[in-house]
Structure 1
């Protein structure tokens, strides 16, 4: 919808990129803080569900209000209006999303069931992309609205109502599986001092120092950092050119025809969403056969082929060919968010074995902040890159040949490079299926007061890239 600010209001792409990027930087503080609060909340409704319920409602209402735009204002006014409004929106979204992600990590302890769980989660999430690619077409449909601005206002209301209806469902119907297990573990299995036991009865056990310690421990945990780096690269590469793709379709394939370009961009997005559904099932099956790492290598490699095909298939002579790359590119994000969520859940087990704490909220908040940071960097850099190509919205379909060439080049090369680096990063990820099972067995043994001594070194989890 940020395209509305450029095409509908005529804002500079750089300012539009900053509006998308700057609020995400505040998440560097709010996301881990929300993760810590959720991890240490004690209530009769659980430590995740209250935040999910009220956060969904708040995010939906703020989003709907954000797009009820006042008319005939300056570019400076719109910049600050959206910047402040977006910061408030993302704060509300953090209240919902951070506990929601953490709840997903703790729903099952099984290595492969985690992948299936994340596959279902990703499958449901992809349903939005059956309709999202049509948003631009919907907003600028002159049979429904006077202009794109009015369309954006009504679309935001529709999205807000839908978000409230579905966002509260996890809070109502899901149970927090590990809540009682963790309380038992804390009381019976951990060797804590008397002062620590007193702190455990407080709502937020160790205050600011405990938060900082947990945060630093998380960001220093190498297996987790590999996952974050790979996610940042794959997702950032995709998002960085996502806006380029729309511009290339409109101004190269269709010579500046926004209506026809938006329609084909919608079809490309729909094909991508349908393909992603199939990819999720395939990647889930492959992960049980070849392991999560190899499944990631396969899915990301196929997406690289899709990005390369853009150079050939995005052509004015045969517009329908632009649907082909979408099928291959779907493997990138389809595999990424199916596998990475499952792998982060495995990392949470390893962290518990080493720190004796369940910290899904902290891990989830930092991981998804990396995702949002990738989006922020992509939105900001995308605006600068678009300007760097020489693009001028006032020229409409008369963009220069050099501008079109550099737009197409960025659209193809950038995600290929980031995906290749991501594959290299996951090669160093050490938590194989055998190691994950060893960790899980050690945890269950310690929780059951069996043979694991908390004072002994944890030999089974001495991991290195070659293990």
Structure 2
């Protein structure tokens, strides 16, 4: 493996991690508040709100993998050589990030909200996909990558805390019925996005950049036709890496469960537990504080033990929190009761770890891919991850919207029917726990750990030296389990990414 190009210092961890204010912060705001904003303040039906997500995902199905593929091949261009094949896109996205605030401008039409949402999603992909490659670009060490993931998730949880509490603070200032609450929230977050993206650009680097160890000569710049031709070949080839398929299963189980929970939670607190938007904001903020603590615990577990075991414990805690919330509704206990803190704490502990673990293991997927292909394809994996994250979040939020409308939910109504409330409760309970169960099932087959990663990296060096057989039978079994390919098919002797 390539040696370290530079020492990774605290400022690099902080700059890298701070960019998840955009990555996780924007997603926390959208998943927690956009359905409320569209249906309660903008006059859109739950179905119209869901349609906005669906249209955006169709466009993103092309854009996100395309950006990942282009960034993999951008190093041979003049701009790529000057600014970096990844970092150029981060720099270019900075002046476009205020598009987030435009999403929350009240009193507009369906088409305005559709276009503004799509615009931000494209800018988001332009910045976040190159960002997701940088941990692997800046280091090849397992613990260093885990620290990068930890810094990222800690900042993401801090931004989620802000996403939870900021509406409460703005409601106190502007009044509970003011739609400007969300617009000012959008302005504040857009300013933070620009600041953290700038810090990321200043304190990150790439392997091929001056001062680093050069990679092999860059391939000729792909034209648009070539890019489209190779785009989905690379997209689907990543799915032929066994560890990545299992990683995606755990990721989807942990994150879709949270998307469903977030989309339904505010409605559940307001209509099922007879709370208010201010109470829902305070509960979300408190849950995110607990998640922040849980991330610190999960970092230590992932560095010392099996990520899959930590995942299972976290999923069980989150499921217990969701089911306890349903129990409060069944027992007719309101959101103002002190008993509400039990499910909030249980859910927060589980969610924090579930946020960290998949992103910690993601940083090693390019290493598993390298032993299969002999290539470094961080951009392709980042494109797939971003597309899958945004697509599944949109599907979850849109699905909640469509199901709520089918269940009798009436936009803007201060009181909902029993059927509508029951639908929200079922979404919060069955939807959340069902996805967590799926993630737990997949995690039982995931065997990447600090010990197996060390074996993987040693075998990569072994193959780079021209070897044909594993260093030991046990090492061969480990890399075959991680990769999903026989040892004699590794190092490019297979159809993956050809």
Matched, 1:300 2:320: no
Asked whether the 8 Å contact 1:112–1:288 carries over to 2, the reply is: yes
1:118 is aligned to 149
Shift of 1:127: 0.8
Task: Within 5 Å, give how 1:186-201 maps onto structure 2.
Answer: 186=216, 200-201=218-219
CA contact (8 A) 1:17 1:379 kept: yes
- Structure 1 residue aligned with 2:492: none
Cα offset, 1:317, TM superposition: 7.7
Q: Aligned in 2, Cα 1:466/1:459: closer, same or farther, shift over 3 Å?
A: closer
Aligned counterpart in structure 1 of residue 104 of structure 2, from 57, 63, 67: 67
CA–CA distance in 1 between the matches of 2:231 and 2:412?
50
Give yes or no for the alignment of 1:364 onto 2:382: yes
- 5 Å matches for 1:256-295? 261-295=276-310
Q: How does 1:8-407 map to 2 (within 5 A)?
A: 8-42=41-75, 43-58=81-96, 60-69=97-106, 71=107, 78-138=109-169, 140-141=171-172, 143-144=173-174, 148-177=178-207, 184=214, 186=216, 200-204=218-222, 207-254=227-274, 261-313=276-328, 315-316=333-334, 319-393=337-411, 395-397=413-415, 399-407=416-424
- Contact between 1:237 and 1:415, CA under 8 Å: does it hold in 2? yes
Q: CA deviation at 1:116?
A: 2.6
Q: Deviation at 1:366? A: 0.6
Given the alignment of the two structures, is residue 441 of structure 1 paired with residue 441 of structure 2, yes or no?
Answer: no
Residues 210-235 of structure 1: per-residue CA shift (max 9 Å, x gap): 44432231133232122112222321
Pairing partner for 1:417 from 434, 437, 442: 434
- SS of the equivalent of 2:84 reads coil
Q: Supply the distance in 2 between the matched residues of 1:63 and 1:437 (Cα, whole angstroms).
A: 41
Conserved? CA contact 1:250–1:261, under 8 Å: yes
Residues in 1 aligned to 2:335 and 2:269: alpha-carbon distance in whole angstroms: 12
Distance 2:74 2:484 in 1: 39
**RMSD of equivalent CA atoms:** 3.0
Q: Evaluate the alpha carbon distance shift between residue 145 and residue 416 of structure 1 in structure 2; reply closer, same or farther with a 3 A threshold.
A: closer
Q: 1:465 to 1:266 in 2, by over 3 A?
A: same
Deviation per CA, 1:225-272, whole angstroms, max 9, x where unpaired? 221122223211221232321112112222xxxxx6122212211221
Aligned partners of 2:103 and 2:264: how far apart in 1? 25
Aligned pair in 2 of structure 1 residues 157, 129: CA closer, same or farther (>3 Å)?
same
TM-score (norm 2): 0.80
After TM superposition, give the deviation of residue 181 of structure 1 in Å: 11
Query: In 2, Cα distance between the equivalents of 1:181 and 1:442?
Result: 27
Summarize the Cα distance change of 1:421–1:180 in structure 2 as closer, same or farther, 3 Å threshold: farther
Partners of 1:93 and 1:425 in 2: CA distance: 29
Which blocks of at least 5 consecutive residues in structure 1 are unaligned? 188-199, 255-259
Aligned length: 439
Q: Distance in 2 between matches of 1:283 and 1:455?
A: 33
